[in-house]
Structure 1
Amino acid sequence: MALLTADGVRIEAAYQPCTDQSAAAADRPAIVVAHGFTGALDRPGVRRAAAVFARRSAVITFSFRGHGRSGGRSTIGDREVLDLAAAVAWARSLGHGRVATVGFSMGGSVVLRHGALYGPPSGAHADAVVSVSAPARWYYRGTAPMRRLHWAVSRPAGRLVARWGLRTRIHPEDWDPVPLSPTEAAPLIAPRPLLIVHGDRDTYFPLEHGHALARAGHPARTELWIERGFGHAENSAGAELLERIAAWAH
């Protein structure tokens, strides 16, 4: 499926029905998966997550702008909120009355901003939000992987490497204005529930990021899972963790 965002970018998306056929399709919730930077809907980590989520819910996967076969260029989490909104609106158009968003890394920051900016009854809003391995603030350079990422984003040579080596096309312009930060977005999601998931072996964003996001969220509507042995984002998420996320989102 090709979705068209509010700013005119074509986004590739795919729909996977729930494998549990015990209820009518419209009665089942849907989970919309937002992948991490350099990911795409056909990457193994995304497909593995979708297969686990589909045991409980219908699943929509898509490629953010500048990734996979989607058009446009990546803005590293800024305009990507429009991509997610298009995917959530598609889920609702298919008859799903409840939609949860699950985002990983960059996608984790996008689901937070989407949750803050799109509230009911917009038609593109999430009923529950799960943010996995997300940064708490922009421009973080405290780890070697994040310093490499900033080089790839900010330098012409880095963007060339990302385009040909990682199949990711990056927009050359800086943010203007700087988008709402993840910690600023988190409290605006309430009264809808928010789940923050972070691993104690995350090499991109240390545990302080997960704790900061959880503190920022509404105390009565925010839950924090610190996962022992878990690394970063969808590529490190095992079936057991994914199953628990699906159960929470359901």
Structure 2
Amino acid sequence: MRSCVSPITSSGRAAASLTTLLTSDGVPIAAEHRPAAGYAAEVGSPWAIVVAHGFTGALERPAVRRAAEVFSRFGGVVTFSFRGHGASGGHSTVGDLEVLDLAAAVGWARALGYPQVAAVGFSMGGSVVLRYAAGADGPVGAVAAPGVDAVVSVSSPARWYYRGTPPMRRVHWAVTRPTGRLVSRFGFGTRIRAADWDPVPRSPVESVPLIAPTPLLIVHGDQDPYFPLDHPHSLAAAAGADGAELWIERGFGHAENAADAALLRRIGGWLTGGVAAS
């Protein structure tokens, strides 16, 4: 499949390589490849795990680096910063055009020679991987998007515009108000586009039924302060009886910042069919 990726620059460190990818709509995306480590390197794991961070995250954030380090025990890892985040260009559309960023990262993983590529998304990234794996509507439908062989969505919303918790009301203030966007830019390093979605993209719960037969894992915490448990249960129900595996994690909060090494190892094992980690 033809990749939508255009590498611009690369640094070739032995442990990891940094690259700038160009999305199909011309946005430069900062990305990093971490080769497999430990037993996964010894046996030549065929997997690349592409990590899609949450809103206000970036590839250099400690939680994303922790996830990359754990996942590298199961295969190669590609991390990247969504548009408007970190060193990437453009402005965040909070889950809409971000499917093009994920397409660029998956395309790079394919170009690196990995025969199997998985996508793991957290929160906003979780909604993006669900839309992408479903053959996302809107902009990604206009490009030859490379597919993925397994999908994990962690702490994803099921539906858009949810304001039922105080943290989500704060997120909506940050996204929709000029003052909130200034706070996001200078306080969190996240640049947000002011324009509303037009059209509104397909929601995660509408996307999930379209993912099969690709293996899908939905992970959510029973202490998530952003999205209560009706969100993961709605996603799992939409997938159908055999369309997804659902993990409700006791004591787990929200997204990559709350994901400890033990949970990340379990996710890595699920993705790669039990490649041993060392």
Cα deviation per residue 1:30-79 (whole Å; 9 max; x = unaligned)? 00000000000000110001100000110000000000000000000000
1:89-238 alignment, distance < 5 Å? 89-117=107-135, 124-238=146-260
Does structure 2 retain, via aligned residues, the 8 Å contact 1:92–1:123?
no
SS in 2 for 1:148: helix
Does structure 1 retain, via aligned residues, the 8 Å contact 2:218–2:244?
yes
User: Number of aligned pairs?
Assistant: 246
Structure 1 residue ranges (4+ consecutive) displaced by more than 6 angstroms after TM superposition: none
Q: Work out which of the residue numbers 16, 37, 45 in structure 1 matches 2:63.
A: 45
Residue type of the alignment partner of 1:194: L
Distance 2:54 2:91 in 1: 15
Q: TM-score, normalised by structure 2?
A: 0.87
Distance 1:141 1:221 in 2: 28
Deviation of the 1:28 alpha carbon: 1.9
Structure 2 residue 20 is matched with structure 1 residue 22: no
Calculate percent identity across the aligned residue pairs. Answer: 66
Gaps of 5+ in 1: none
Distance 2:240 2:47 in 1: 24
The CA RMSD over aligned residues, in Å, is: 1.2
Distance 2:145 2:222 in 1: 36
Structure 2 residue 71 is matched with structure 1 residue 71: no
SS in 2 for 1:33: strand
Gaps of 5+ in 2: 1-18, 273-278
Cα deviation per residue 1:118-154 (whole Å; 9 max; x = unaligned)? 69xx562111110000000000000000000000100
SS in 1 for 2:42: coil
Cα deviation per residue 1:192-249 (whole Å; 9 max; x = unaligned)? 1110000000000001101011111142131000000000000000111000000111
Deviation of the 1:8 alpha carbon: 0.5
